[in-house]
Structure 1
């Protein structure tokens, strides 16, 4: 059990006041929040957990003595198979495939078996027991590059060259480097004369398609025939001098490699100089013998890249690349360009160019309503809903305001209504749950891992189990996860199974009293940091992003150090960020810092929490005079735009769940929406000659 947070936390003073006066060091105690145990804390297993941990530790050191002493006592414990697997691993020199088969028969093909099989295959590889490896792999395949390559080597060493060459050819055809265990297989394959020139050249172009230039240079050594060498020579020339593609004879010399070369060269030049790259492609597309599908592929990529640039008017180029509005995502960005200029007639013309399905999306229903209602000569009223003069616009907004999403909530704000939650709990039959638990042993092991705070193992168990579940069984996982206090998984599974209306699964309220205390100390409303946490980690205390952000509120270590220093919060190392109490204190303080940094603008602060302050400052400088809803819609990064919309929406939902007023925006924020912002707040776009930078 994680120790309860000390009562001295009540004395914490964070936020603006902490920067103006000396404060005692915060979090003097070793403060942790209690884990949400739910039904995962089975009292019958509680005395067995310390025994399990001590035996596991001994086995990991290679000592089986304690396991032999305690195994009869632990056999009824759900995690016992992991101990038995570790015991077998320690005795690999003294066991055979029969012992592995016996384990599989007894415990099934769950995660303990998968982990044991990985170790067994690695052992057989180290011992070069090729026949045993081949037998073990076929009994319980582990299709990773390492083990697949090793299977080819096993075929080679057991006099099955045809199978080895077939495996080598399959593994060869990739645009990136293979696992090092493939090296000996590829060497033997080449030595046997099985690497044909078409295969050698095919892999070169796969590397080019992946923009893996260094690897492509290495692969070019395998291409020895004259036609292949000429195609590669033409590629390098075009890479160095893009307009070389326009020369007579270049396309013929490239032959089947024309598409790969053209895509690579055009994309590379556009990234260096958008205007020149666009000019090159518009010239090439008239002369190169590419089919419509090939041309459309480049048209789409280039049009989308240009359309996303809100600082430069590429309307004429876009009209050439996509004259018939066949690329929906490009059309959506053309609408955003029109929004950034507040060109409402153009918005009205462009939205009907979207496919019918996209037109019905709440996003474009909202902007259709605003475009219809927006009239620069109209008298602006104090309350937005009084300004809606067009009945079609009013009808659209009225319909939208019934929806539970960002645009529905915006429509509700405009109409001065509370947001609609439209919640409905999922009906669960207890008999189905009991039947599910009896069918799969993993449902005994998962809550035990959670009780031990071992989220990685719990997630690995579920990942291994999920493909075996039926369509009827999968939604039950969300309900079980909620009972276990595993909020992350209840949220994820509810989304995977489209349980959109069950807000008890999708919007849990863990640590709500603690969030309230810390938010109040920072002069923030509770629902805002709660919504940030819901978006950042879905309440996963051990979450870590690929960039290194950690914990509930996904703080980078450098940000945590800076926030701790500014707010006089005790912080020792990045390991502290996996402590929920410290993470919430630091994350909420950082949010308060951002709010102050952006003059109390909650929307800018939310964007900065995701994209960083410097980037948001640039966006504010470029488009800060736009109405608030247009500014959000024209955030250049899809991730950040969705992030801001989600956080605002989640905050409104949490407000309602906490019996607070159901508004997404404050009165001041509502007054900054497009329908009440002065019409003269329009921005001009630079001509293509003035700037080539693409955000």
Structure 2
């Protein structure tokens, strides 16, 4: 069912590029006596160097020539920042008034506020203060009002900050001490925060707060913490009197116990529900957690418990565990029942309809199944492409570029934040450039965001173009969303290591969106998001000399090492792209532990059962990204199903074809 696609001729037409060039040039037009843009850029570079070297006179001379340059405020800021502790307040206020919307203005204000608070200059602190997200600064603000006896609404504002499920900075302690002595501090208010703390899995904070409860209430706070720490004991004893606090604590205990021992949680819940007058909401919460954890642990009661969830309460989590349970047991009738009707708004409707169609297929209702596949066949995603595979029709990419409206494009081209972001990007000041770009989002309409994405792509800033189109919910310009960049580099290593080029492109697109200096919260680096330890091991294996972590932030070195690791995963999993993709994300040991032990399994079923949500979404995303990249590379489009091989037994991993055949049955992955 493959099809060949070519890039539409209208994209190859240079008219749009020409228009962009004209608009960007207009954005920097200056009077004839002004320096050209390239000269301003050079002066800016020299000014930064002079300041870094401490050559203040040279810096002032150079920066004086740049007052009409988009990045002039950054020069002023950098000089101010270096003497913030002694800068004149009027000078700082003038900067903040002149550039109120710049990210660096927020930095300057926050740093000045911290300096003033540490020096206990409370009046000046209040003069400089604006609403802040930083909890420490919020506490300093309350302190300033307390010290200056600004009592109006002070206790109300302290209450709003105090009422949180996490511990707050020590800078809050002085105002909280005052709050604890006020009439605002009641058992009811303490219970509100205890609930927030327990909901945030913070029993230490809940225990601390419980000690402030009155004598009659304190025991319930202590019981809640005890039940959290030992749910089997306290939900089994049923020793509490039937009060609202007791019921709340016991439901919490049952949900905790379900994670540890489903059978015991079920037995304890059956006993408790006959002794306590739980509300319908209490029962619903307990049954939801029991159903989820019974499914996660493949408990024999999973199907029955999942059946108790009302349709109005079904969300993506419940849908997922219903899928896992039904597919593990090949219970197509339950799956059909669970996906009947219109999907609730809180679920991924494409997933719902796809598996409704599959359940109909498996129960012999093939023509009815086609109706549901047709409902999603126009979706350009994993389930939409799989639906087309079942319908045996070719993929339609439905690429549509943004229509040109010169006046609107000119307006965006001259938007100050766009110009500043462009100049920062040109100078390699990527963090600052991204902050400018991010702050611009709320100021632009969705159409204007799409125009900005076109500009970003024209500059080569593809990760911002992709991000911006996502923010605008504009998914049809596939040339912008799936750029063919680093082609020589990626093609070289795809050929050298005999890797599927479109698959490799899909992986880079999913990992980093082509951000060369991408850094994940877990520490993965660069285009192919390699962990430093993995990078070093792979570099050593391929004879890469003198590896350093920073190499992963260079495109050529990252792809050299990343493609070698991808090849390693491909070989370890016998060319199975589904398994290799999962292993690249979750690690090979995890994937090995998820392989079936008794019979082979269809790849689409295995993917739905992947225990890690991130990996599950990652694998499905890369599979359909690869088909889109086939189209972008102007090569034969490989259907998603043709990149998905049967999932073999672990013991027969390297002889999958000999042992899988067409025999399929249920399999349960280790959760």
1:352 and 1:127 map into 2 onto residues whose CA distance is 65
Query: Gaps spanning 5+ residues in structure 1: where?
Result: 1-37, 377-388, 686-692
1:609 and 1:201 map into 2 onto residues whose CA distance is 46
Matched, 1:406 2:382: yes
* 427-436 or 183-192, which deviates more: 183-192
TM-score (norm 2): 0.85
Shift of 1:560: 0.4
Matched, 1:142 2:118: no
Local SS of the residue matching 2:476:
coil
CA contact (8 A) 2:190 2:209 kept: yes
Which residue number corresponds to residue 681 of structure 1?
664
Residue by residue over 1:236-295, the C-alpha shift from the partner in whole angstroms, topping out at 9 and shown as x without a partner, is 45343645346566144xx44345523432232222222212332343234333322232
Matched, 1:601 2:601: no
Shift of 1:92: 4.3
Shift of 1:607: 0.7
Matched, 1:314 2:311: no
- Taking structure 1 as reference, are residues 132 and 92 closer, same or farther at Cα in structure 2, changes over 3 Å only? same
Which residue number corresponds to residue 121 of structure 1?
113
Shift of 1:653: 0.5
Shift of 1:521: 0.6
Which residue number corresponds to residue 552 of structure 1?
527
1:195 and 1:251 map into 2 onto residues whose CA distance is 26
Local SS of the residue matching 1:109:
coil
- Taking structure 1 as reference, are residues 44 and 633 closer, same or farther at Cα in structure 2, changes over 3 Å only? farther
Shift of 1:390: 3.2
- Taking structure 1 as reference, are residues 360 and 166 closer, same or farther at Cα in structure 2, changes over 3 Å only? closer
Shift of 1:391: 2.9
1:684 and 1:432 map into 2 onto residues whose CA distance is 55
Matched, 1:338 2:326: yes
Shift of 1:151: 0.5
1:681 and 1:81 map into 2 onto residues whose CA distance is 66
Which residue number corresponds to residue 420 of structure 1?
396
Matched, 1:537 2:512: yes
CA contact (8 A) 1:359 1:365 kept: no
Which residue number corresponds to residue 102 of structure 1?
94
1:410 and 1:498 map into 2 onto residues whose CA distance is 23
Shift of 1:503: 0.6
2:187 and 2:52 map into 1 onto residues whose CA distance is 49
Which residue number corresponds to residue 418 of structure 2?
443
TM-score (norm 1): 0.82
Matched, 1:576 2:551: yes
> In structure 2, which of residues 204, 215, 221 is the aligned counterpart of residue 214 of structure 1?
204
2:248 and 2:552 map into 1 onto residues whose CA distance is 46
Local SS of the residue matching 2:340:
helix
1:108 and 1:184 map into 2 onto residues whose CA distance is 31
Local SS of the residue matching 2:606:
helix
> In structure 2, which of residues 251, 266, 273 is the aligned counterpart of residue 285 of structure 1?
273
Matched, 1:183 2:173: yes
1:392 and 1:595 map into 2 onto residues whose CA distance is 38
Which residue number corresponds to residue 605 of structure 2?
630
2:581 and 2:666 map into 1 onto residues whose CA distance is 24
Matched, 1:73 2:60: no
* 482-491 or 366-375, which deviates more: 366-375
Which residue number corresponds to residue 52 of structure 1?
44
Which residue number corresponds to residue 232 of structure 1?
221
CA contact (8 A) 2:528 2:558 kept: yes
> In structure 1, which of residues 460, 473, 477 is the aligned counterpart of residue 452 of structure 2?
477
- Taking structure 1 as reference, are residues 93 and 629 closer, same or farther at Cα in structure 2, changes over 3 Å only? closer
Written as runs of structure 1 = structure 2, the 5 A alignment for 1:383-398 is 390-397=366-373
Matched, 1:645 2:620: yes
Matched, 1:433 2:420: no
Shift of 1:584: 1.2
Shift of 1:326: 4.2
Residue by residue over 1:401-430, the C-alpha shift from the partner in whole angstroms, topping out at 9 and shown as x without a partner, is 444221232233345543221111121323
Which residue number corresponds to residue 160 of structure 2?
170
CA contact (8 A) 1:211 1:264 kept: no
Matched, 1:160 2:136: no
Shift of 1:338: 1.9
Residue by residue over 1:562-596, the C-alpha shift from the partner in whole angstroms, topping out at 9 and shown as x without a partner, is 11112222352211111111111111111110000
1:208 and 1:332 map into 2 onto residues whose CA distance is 26
Local SS of the residue matching 2:615:
helix
> In structure 2, which of residues 337, 342, 354 is the aligned counterpart of residue 349 of structure 1?
337
- Taking structure 1 as reference, are residues 232 and 348 closer, same or farther at Cα in structure 2, changes over 3 Å only? closer
Shift of 1:437: 3.8
Flag the structure with more relative contact order, 1 or 2, with Cα contacts below 8 A and sequence separation at least 6.
1
Local SS of the residue matching 1:428:
coil
Shift of 1:131: 0.6
Local SS of the residue matching 1:621:
coil
Residue by residue over 1:324-362, the C-alpha shift from the partner in whole angstroms, topping out at 9 and shown as x without a partner, is 684244244223322233333333333216636689933
- Taking structure 1 as reference, are residues 215 and 375 closer, same or farther at Cα in structure 2, changes over 3 Å only? closer
1:300 and 1:459 map into 2 onto residues whose CA distance is 41
1:193 and 1:57 map into 2 onto residues whose CA distance is 58
* 471-480 or 123-132, which deviates more: 471-480
CA contact (8 A) 1:130 1:154 kept: yes
- Taking structure 1 as reference, are residues 282 and 662 closer, same or farther at Cα in structure 2, changes over 3 Å only? farther
CA contact (8 A) 1:200 1:219 kept: yes
Residue by residue over 1:355-387, the C-alpha shift from the partner in whole angstroms, topping out at 9 and shown as x without a partner, is 3668993333333333333379xxxxxxxxxxx
CA contact (8 A) 2:399 2:476 kept: yes
2:215 and 2:518 map into 1 onto residues whose CA distance is 53
Shift of 1:108: 3.4
